[in-house]
Structure 1
Amino acid sequence: MLTIYGVYRSRASRTLWLANELGLEFRHVPVIQAYRLADPHAPDAPLNTRSPAFLAINPNGHVPSIDDDGLILHESLAINLHLARKHGGPLAPANHAEDGQMGMWALWAATEVEPHSIQILYHRVGKPPGERDPAVAEAAIAALRGPFAVLDRHLATNGFMVGGRFTVADINVAEVVRYAMPAPELFAAAPAVKAWLAACHDRPAFKRMMAEREREPA
């Protein structure tokens, strides 16, 4: 049995979306981020990323993690690549070339996009108004114009990230790009990215994941 650790309002959303796409049966353990709690060490605190029980699973203290029949893995993008390879089908790489491309795009998303997209999320909508720094958000938007142009050219030519079809690579990149949605000006300048992300978000498995996310406390 696959066990997924992490609340829906976290990077665990990526793995939960993929699990829905693959039709996997899984056990969900909702581990909340410690920073969202007043006192993560309080006796009545919910299971969180600083709870000893979770640190025994992931000593880094981050979500998501999985236990896949005894194989413990961390890092959402790597988890998704593993699950897609294991279960196969159209979401998985069809050959070594696609496997390499999927790994490349996962690392690209993690290094070129996410450090900036997460700042847009935090400083435009994610923090209380008094804690938002417009300068941080604007710097992140400026930093993403280049990567968005790269992605837009790729999608305008190929339609999807890899292999001309929807795959785990689309899930991985879309979930990182989603953080930039509070900056519509980025998407206005990248119409292929905008259309691709909308198509990803129109998938029933994504909608199911987001519905569960909305049921969780903000």
Structure 2
Amino acid sequence: MSLTIYGCYRSRATRNVWLANELGITFKHVPVIQAYRLPDPKAADAPVHTRSAEFLEVNPNGHIPSIDDDGFVMHESLAINLYLARKHGGPVAPKDVQEEGLAAMWALWAATECETNALNLTYHLAAYPPEKRDPAIVSKALEALAAPFAVLDKALADGGGYVMGGRFTVADINVGEVIRYAKPATQLFDAAPNVKAWLDKLHQRPAFKAMWAARDAEPA
């Protein structure tokens, strides 16, 4: 059995690496960088990137991450995690069809209700140089995320501190890796203490720390 994860650690591939660590899956990592991060993706000495011919054979969409699991190829990080959890089972996986539905619901919720605005907070509060940051985008993102954070805060309070099932599952990884993008906006977390405590708890997990150490070791 052989799992290959295509992507760099400074991408959504972190979601898949974290889950693989939790499940104890040995995997091969093939570094693929986003083409937009390169000065000249067409240069002869350019590393493998999302527009490289060899990667487009894996994922014609030209996005990371992708996986190859013994010849079964998948894209989309949140879907990949649901697949890996379903395949390998254990307490991290949904325990029945209802939890499978909930895990899918929360993955879609994170992607549609939170991700774009959370990413904008990362970019415009931290990642971009000051001259590229737009306070209007920050203000809009903060306003848009207030309600989803309240929804998640209540769900965590009602669910014993986890997204579903009263225990740590793939749903926490999928939602947590989206919510992490909003961390520069501390006011959101101050207004949602259950979300703050939950994310802090997730980031203390050894599997997350191992993934993050690999991310920190990767060139920016």
Q: TM-score, normalised by structure 2?
A: 0.98
Q: Name the residue aligned to 1:36.
A: 37
Deviations 1:133-186 (A, max 9, x none): 111011101100000000000001111111110000000000000000000000
Deviations 1:56-109 (A, max 9, x none): 101111100000111110000000000000000001110000000000000000
The answer to whether residue 63 in structure 2 is matched with residue 58 in structure 1 is no
Q: Name the residue aligned to 1:156.
A: 157
Q: Give the secondary structure class of the aligned counterpart of 1:162.
A: coil
Task: State how 1:22-101 maps to structure 2 within 5 Å.
Answer: 22-101=23-102
Give the letter aligned to residue 42 of structure 2: H
Q: Name the residue aligned to 1:132.
A: 133
Matched residues in 1 for 2:201 and 2:61: separation? 34
State the 4+ residue runs in structure 1 displaced beyond 4 angstroms: none
Deviates more, 1:124-133 or 1:73-82: 124-133
Give the letter aligned to residue 162 of structure 1: M
- Once the two structures are TM-superposed, the CA of residue 43 in structure 1 deviates from its matched residue by 0.8
Give the letter aligned to residue 186 of structure 2: P
The answer to whether residue 11 in structure 2 is matched with residue 10 in structure 1 is yes
Matched residues in 1 for 2:82 and 2:139: separation? 32
- Percent of residue pairs bearing the same amino acid type: 65
- Once the two structures are TM-superposed, the CA of residue 50 in structure 1 deviates from its matched residue by 0.7
Q: Give the secondary structure class of the aligned counterpart of 1:49.
A: coil
Alignment partner of 2:209 out of 207, 210, 217: 207
Matched residues in 1 for 2:135 and 2:57: separation? 38
Q: Name the residue aligned to 2:172.
A: 170
- Once the two structures are TM-superposed, the CA of residue 115 in structure 1 deviates from its matched residue by 1.2
- Once the two structures are TM-superposed, the CA of residue 122 in structure 1 deviates from its matched residue by 0.8
Deviations 1:26-71 (A, max 9, x none): 0000100111100111110000001010011011111000001111
Matched residues in 2 for 1:134 and 1:36: separation? 24
Where does structure 2 lack aligned partners over 5 or more consecutive residues?
none
Alignment partner of 1:184 out of 172, 177, 186: 186
Matched residues in 2 for 1:154 and 1:131: separation? 35
Q: Name the residue aligned to 2:196.
A: 194
Where does structure 1 lack aligned partners over 5 or more consecutive residues?
none
- Once the two structures are TM-superposed, the CA of residue 132 in structure 1 deviates from its matched residue by 1.1
Number of equivalenced pairs = 218
Give the letter aligned to residue 101 of structure 2: G
- Once the two structures are TM-superposed, the CA of residue 126 in structure 1 deviates from its matched residue by 1.2
Matched residues in 1 for 2:130 and 2:57: separation? 36
Instruction: Note the aligned Cα RMSD (angstroms).
Output: 0.5
Matched residues in 1 for 2:100 and 2:145: separation? 26
Q: Give the secondary structure class of the aligned counterpart of 1:4.
A: strand
Q: TM-score, normalised by structure 1?
A: 0.99
Q: Give the secondary structure class of the aligned counterpart of 1:73.
A: strand
